[in-house]
Copies of this chain bind each other. A is one copy, B any other.
Amino acid sequence: MDTKPLLDYLRRYIDLDQEEEALFLSKVKLRKYLKGQYVVQQGDVCLYENFVLSGCLKSFHMDPEGHEHIVMFAIEDWWTGDLGSFLSQTPASLNVQCMENCVLAQLSHSDLQELYIRIPKLERFFRIIIQKAYVASQQRIVHNLSMPARDRYLHFRKQYPRIDQRVPQYMIASYLGITPEFLSKIRSQLIYEQ
Known: A133-B134, A144-B144. 17 other contacts (CB 8 A): A67-B146, A71-B141, A83-B131, A83-B134, A83-B135, A84-B135, A84-B138, A84-B139, A93-B142, A94-B142, A116-B124, A120-B124, A123-B123, A123-B127, A124-B127, A134-B134, A145-B177
How many residues of chain A are within 8 Å of chain B by beta carbon? 33
Indicate if the CB atoms of B116 and A146 lie closer than 8 Å. no
The CA of A177 and the CA of B140, in the complex, are separated in Å by: 13
Give residues in A with beta carbon < 8 Å to B.
61, 63, 67, 69, 71, 83-84, 87, 93-94, 116, 120, 123-124, 126-127, 130-135, 137-142, 144-146, 174, 177
The CA of A175 and the CA of B57, in the complex, are separated in Å by: 30
Main secondary structure of the interface of A (DSSP, over half): helix
The CA of A93 and the CA of B140, in the complex, are separated in Å by: 12
Chain B, residue nearest A139 (CB): B84
Indicate if the CB atoms of B123 and A134 lie closer than 8 Å. no
Chain B, residue nearest A85 (CB): B135
The CA of A126 and the CA of B126, in the complex, are separated in Å by: 10
The CA of A133 and the CA of B120, in the complex, are separated in Å by: 22
Contacts of A139 in B (CB 8 A): 84, 93
The CA of A131 and the CA of B69, in the complex, are separated in Å by: 22
